[in-house]
Amino acid sequence: MLAAEQRTYQRHRPEQTLLYQLVEKHYPAFAEMMQFQGKPLPYHVFKEFEEFLKCGRLEHGFLRVVCDYWQLMQSATTHRITAYHAD
């Protein structure tokens, strides 16, 4: 692969998105209100919100793996894999 073709890592910054900011601001009060009303969020919903708020945040860890053939990049904070074939 030529140097000009190499991809550089661009960190995802979820904290700058409107959706992230709204969830971060309002989710704790919403979850507390549901608990107070005797209707706590199902565990899978709670877990999904908690994982969403950690996703892409470096303070929760980071892993980058690159495969020379597939240019496989995986971020442990995003739960997704992006593969680029190197042909």
pLDDT digits (tens, 9 = 90+) for 27-78: 999 999 999 999 999 999 999 999 989 887 777 777 766 666 655 454 444 4
The overall pTM is greater than 0.85: no
Which class for 57: exposed (0-12), middle (13-18), buried (19 or more C-beta within 10 A)? middle
* Span 3-14, average pLDDT: 72
Please check whether residue 36 is in contact with residue 42, taking contact to mean a CB–CB distance below 8 angstroms: no
Q: Which of 73, 2, 57 is nearest to 24 (CA)?
A: 57
Residues 27, 80, 66, CA angle at the centre, nearest 5°? 135
